[in-house]
Structure 1
Amino acid sequence: MKIFATAILALVGFSSAAHSADSVNVYSFRQSFLIEPILEQFTAETGIKTKVVFAKSGLVERIKREGKYSPADVVLTSDFSKLLQLKDESLTQAFSNTEINQNVPAYYRDAQGHWVALTKRVRNIYASKKNIANPAELTYESLVSPEFKGKICTRSGKHPYNLGLIASIIAHKGEAAAETWLRGVKANLARKPQGNDRAQVKAIKEGLCDLSLGNSYYFGKMLTDAAQKPWADAVNIVYPNQSDRGAHVNVSGAAIAKYAPNKANAEKLIAFLASKKAQQAYSALNMEYPVNPAVKPAKLVASWGEFKEDTLPLTQVAEYRKSALKLVDKVKFDL
C-alpha cells in the first residue's frame, strides 16, 4: 500500500510540474525530424516551450495508464486510425478554435471537435510505365478488371491505409458492392499481400506485378533515395477516380488529450500547425499535401500534378472501418 501511495504521489508531482503557462506537452507518433523544426519555430514565435515524447507505438496505452495524471496536452498522429482510436477510447476532449476552423476544411475535422487533420496523403495507384498504357484512366474499381488478373500487388488488407480505402468504398457504394470489389482485387493479386507500400513498387520494377496501391508520400521518399529511385522511375503515380468522386485521402492529425493540463497552449500549438507558415514546412518534410487549402505543396510533390480528392467527411468514412475489417476477414484477403 505504501508503494502504491508513493507511486500516486509521484504521478501527482509529475502532473503538477507538467502544468505551466509557458509550456505544452506533446506525445507524438510522428518521427522527431518531421516535427522538431516546426516546434522550435512555434516556441520562437510564442515563447511557449514544447516538451515532447516520441514513440512509434504504445502512446495510446501510455495515456490510458497515466489516466487523469497524464501530462499529455497534444497528441500528434501519423495516420487517421490513431485519431479514431484516441476518440473511441475517450482519451481526447472537444475543442473549437476559429483560426483552426478557418484553415482546415470541415471534412478534415472531427464533427464533435475531438481531432483535426494536419497533412494529407493520397491512396494512389502505382502503374508500370512499361506495361500499363493508359494509367490516367485507372480507378479503384478498375482494379477488378479481368485484364489485371495476376498483376496487382498490395500490403495487408488490414493495414490502416487499406482499411481507410475499403471504408470509403463502403461509404460510397455500400457494403455489398465493397465486398464484391474486395473479392475482385483479391482474385487479381499477383502474390499474397505482404510488405509495405514501397515494397509493392519494388515488385513492379522487378516484374512481379504491374499495379499496386500506395500512399503518395512514399513516391517522394523513393525518388530522393538513390537505392529506391529506380523503383519510382519504373512507375507512374496515378490519382484514381478523377472523373467521379476523386482519390481517397488519408491524414495525419492532432488531438487534445482528455486531461490536458495546458489546454490553451495545446490549442495554440494546433492552430500554429494549421497556419500557412507551418503547413508549408510541415507537409514538405514528409512530402505530404498541406491540409490548409491556401498552402501549395512542396515543389517535388506539386510536380506530380494536380488532382481531385474525395471530399466525403472522414467522420463518415470512419463509421465503416470496423465493417471494412470484417470484410477483409470474410473474403480472406490476406490468405
Structure 2
Amino acid sequence: MSDTAVRVADATGNWVDTLAPVWSRPYLRLARYDRPIGSWLLLMPCWWSAALAAGMSGQLTMLPAWIALYFVGAFAMRGAGCTWNDITDRDLDAKVERTRSRPIPAGQVGVKQALAFLVAQALIGLIALLQFNRFAILTGIASLVIVAIYPFMKRITWWPQMVLGLAFSWGALMGFAVAFGRLDATALLLYAGSIAWVIAYDTIYAHQDAEDDALIGIKSTARLFADRTHLALILFYGLAVVLIGAALVTAHAGVAAWIGLAGFAAHLGWQVHRLDTADPALCLRVFKSNRDAGLLLFAALLVDAVLRVL
C-alpha cells in the first residue's frame, strides 16, 4: 500500500506527508504532528498561567525557560494522549469515515508498536516535568488519571468534552504550581475558565463526526446540543470569558491583560457568528482558529507581566 493511500483523511498536504522520512510518517501521524492544532490548544492554558503567575510574582527571569518547557511537554504529552486514544479507539475509528485512515486501523502501526511509542513520548514529557519543583511534578502527574480515562467517556456520557476540558486545561494550574508551589483562587478560576473554553471548541470539532457518531452510538455534546449548539457556545464561551476575567481580578492584572481578554472574547463571538454546524470543513476551520484566540490572550498576559515588573 502506498503512503498516499494511507494518509489521514483530514490531514493531507502537510509536512509529514511531504518532508518526513516514509518510515516515520505513521508514528508522526499517530502523535498528530500532521495536525498540531491539538498540541497548541493544550499549550495555551500552560502559557496563560505561566504569564499570569509571573506577573503576580514579579519574577520574569525563569519565564522564557518555563515557556520552552511547556512547549516541549505539551507536544510530547498531546502526542502520547493521541496515541493512547487511538489504541483504545482503534475499532471505533475503523467505522468512521474521517478516522478510518489513522495509522492503527489502517494497519500501518501495530498496538505493541503504538504502546512503545506512547512510552517514549511520555518519557520526554516526564523529562520536561522533572525540571520543576516537587509540587509541580506531582500536580503534572495527577493529570494522567484524567488522560487515561478520557477515551472511554464518549461511550458512557454525553459530556466527553467536559472530561477533555479537565485534561486539556490542566496547564492552567501548572504555571502557579511552578511559580508558587501551590494552587490558589486565581489558578482555579483560570482552570475553570479554560474548561468552559475547551467544552465549546471541542463541541465545534465534534460536529464533524456527528452523523457517524450517531450510527455507531458515540456520545458527544455536539449530538446533545444539536440545533441548540449556537446557544450552548454562547453560554460556554461567555462562561470562559467571565471566569478568566475573575482570575484577572484576583491576580490584580493590568490594562494590557484586560485588552487581551476583550480581544479573546471578540474572537469567540466571531466564531459563534461564523459557524455553520452543517458544514464539516467550516467546523474544522473555526475550531482551529482557537489557537489564534489563545495566542492573543497569552500575548496580552505576557505584556501585562512585563509591564508589572518594569
TM-score of the superposed pair, with normalisation by structure 1: 0.26
- Higher Cα radius of gyration: 1
Larger strand proportion of the pair: 1
Larger helix proportion of the pair: 2
TM-score of the superposed pair, with normalisation by structure 2: 0.27
Greater relative contact order (Cα < 8 A, sep 6+): 1
